[in-house]
């Protein structure tokens, strides 16, 4: 392109040309466009260096059908790639969360898992009369943990399953699920608190020289399910909720049952009148107490043997042996009382668990009352042959009886 033509194009752009000059330059540019179109067409049909013409799909582009097939294939490849990416990320996150969950609940001595189990077991044994749960734990992913077990009651000499209990944790936050068997929810666990807190028993009250309680005539017959108890067949055993008309110390109450053919399994502890009922009728519908066979904590175990064997780079096998404190069946009241207070303090420490397991119990107020006034018992859950339970109707310190679970004869004399 000559310099003269370039100057004319600049003058054309600046509007310096006459009309005749404008028409001339426009005719020149039309010729250039025709030249360019010809060159493009010629280049498309020009053979390549090997002497062959360009492929038809290069000359004429892709057909619409083939374009759709290529786009569809690309979409599926993208989907598959995204799916594999998501699955890989999910597997990595799951693996990392499993490791994190095991460390979160399992590290430490004692571990979080041990502490949570102790807190749950203590809350159940203190607030659910004659119910024991042998707890197991199962670690999950994403910082979840489940602690679960069968709920059992002692009726006669055997333990019967009445439901399932589970507590699920997410980052240590508990949620409780209770599945009662045969719709049994412990609705008979009603006790009556004595009218006068100062009216406590003495070790010799109502006892004969052999320690057996004397059966005295009462001014007012005891209330409760005595007629129902009478109608039960003789060859049956039952669970009964007893309320007393006075307070006992733990040792005193245990001695009252020492020579009777029945077994106390749970004791109701005085924590003051139930304010929700105004404290006037002395009804206790949500009692606090402790089992006759304590639910020991992990730190109550006295380790007598310990062995650790390494396996692999990071694994190890630990075996240990030991024993929990021994108790006199009808004694050791101080040890039982101390363990009860320790369990209350554990519930106080793990308040969130206590609020889920026993939502109607004020642990702080109960602990404060017991520490100030001491441990006094006003009721008990007992079990034994029906005919033996009926003899308690003539005992002066029995105020009320409610019948719980009943089973066919399984009593070991």
What is the structure's pLDDT at 267? 97
pLDDT at 320 over 60: yes
Q: Is 291 within a domain?
A: yes
Mean pLDDT to the nearest integer, 102-123: 89
Please report the pLDDT score of residue 203 as a whole number: 41
In a domain, 21, yes or no: no
The reported pLDDT for the residue numbered 278 is 47
Higher pLDDT, 20 or 126: 126
334 in a structural domain? yes
Residue 301 confidence (pLDDT) above 80: yes
Percent of the chain topping pLDDT 90: 47
**Which has the minimum average pLDDT: 8-17, 102-111, 233-242, 265-274?**
8-17
Q: 253-276: per-residue pLDDT in tens?
A: 999 999 999 999 999 999 987 665
pLDDT at 9 over 90: no
- What pLDDT shows up at residue 280? 53
Residue 70 belongs to a domain? no
Instruction: Say what the pLDDT of residue 64 is.
Output: 72
pLDDT for 207 equals 46
Segment 117-133 shows an average pLDDT of 94
**Is the entire prediction scored with pTM above 0.75?**
no
In a domain, residue 69? The reply is no
Which residue segment(s) compose the domain that 404 sits in? 191-195+222-408
pLDDT of residue 31: 73
The total number of structural domains in the chain stands at 1
pLDDT (average), residues 281-309: 86
pLDDT tens for each residue of 162-212: 999 999 999 889 999 999 887 555 556 789 998 755 445 444 444 443 444
Residue 161 lies in a domain: no
Tokens 């005919």 sit on residue: 387
Confidence of residue 42 (pLDDT cuts 50, 70, 90): low
Band (pLDDT 50/70/90 cuts) for residue 73 is: confident
Task: Give the list of residues 6+ apart from residue 271 with CB closer than 8 angstroms, or none.
Answer: 288, 365, 366, 369, 370
Distance CA 45, CA 40 (A): 9
Return the pLDDT at 124.
Answer: 95
Q: Is 392 a member of any domain?
A: yes
Residue 380: pLDDT above 60?
yes
Residue 48 clears pLDDT 60, i.e. is over it: no
In a domain, 127, yes or no: no
CA separation, residue 33 to residues 46, 60, 74 (Å):
20, 22, 38
For residue 99, name the pLDDT band (cuts at 50, 70, 90). Answer: confident
Per-chain mean pLDDT for the chain: 82
């Amino acid at each position: 392109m000559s310099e003269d033509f370039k100057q004319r194009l600049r003058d054309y752009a600046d509007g310096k040309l006459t009309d005749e000059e404008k028409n001339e330059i426009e005719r020149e540019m039309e010729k250039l466009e025709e030249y360019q179109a010809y060159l493009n067409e010629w280049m498309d049909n020009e053979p390549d260096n090997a002497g062959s013409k360009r492929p038809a799909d290069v000359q004429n582009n892709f057909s619409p059908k083939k374009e759709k097939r290529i786009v569809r294939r690309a979409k599926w490849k993208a989907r598959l790639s995204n799916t594999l990416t998501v699955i890989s990320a999910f597997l990595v996150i799951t693996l990392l969360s499993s490791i994190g969950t095991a460390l979160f609940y399992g590290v430490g001595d004692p571990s979080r898992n041990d502490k949570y189990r102790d807190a749950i077991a203590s809350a159940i044994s203190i607030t659910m009369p004659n119910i024991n749960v042998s707890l197991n734990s199962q670690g999950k992913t994403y910082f979840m943990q489940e602690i679960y077990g069968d709920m059992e009651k002692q009726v006669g000499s055997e333990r019967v399953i009445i439901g399932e209990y589970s507590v699920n944790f997410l980052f240590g936050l508990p949620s409780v699920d209770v599945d009662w068997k045969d719709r049994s929810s412990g609705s008979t666990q009603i006790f009556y608190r004595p009218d006068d807190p100062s009216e406590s028993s003495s070790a010799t009250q109502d006892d004969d020289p052999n320690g057996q309680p004397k059966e005295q005539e009462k001014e007012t017959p005891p209330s409760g399910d005595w007629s129902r108890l009478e109608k039960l067949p003789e060859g049956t055993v039952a669970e009964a909720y007893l309320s007393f008309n006075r307070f006992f110390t733990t040792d005193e109450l245990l001695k009252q049952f020492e020579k009777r053919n029945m077994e106390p399994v749970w004791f109701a502890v005085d924590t003051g009148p139930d304010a929700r009922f105004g404290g006037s009728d002395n009804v206790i519908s949500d009692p606090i107490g402790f089992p006759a066979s304590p639910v020991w904590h992990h730190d109550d175990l006295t380790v007598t043997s310990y062995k650790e064997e390494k396996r692999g780079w990071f694994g190890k096998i630990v075996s240990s042996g030991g024993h929990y404190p021994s108790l006199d069946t009808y004694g050791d009241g101080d040890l039982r009382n101390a363990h009860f207070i320790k369990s209350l303090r554990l519930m106080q420490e793990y308040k969130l668990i206590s609020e889920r397991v026993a939502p109607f119990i004020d642990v702080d107020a109960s602990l404060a009352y017991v520490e100030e006034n001491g441990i006094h018992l006003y009721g008990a859950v007992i079990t034994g042959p029906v005919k033996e339970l009926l003899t308690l109707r003539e005992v002066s310190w029995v105020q009320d009886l409610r019948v719980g679970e009943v089973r066919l004869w399984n009593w070991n004399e």
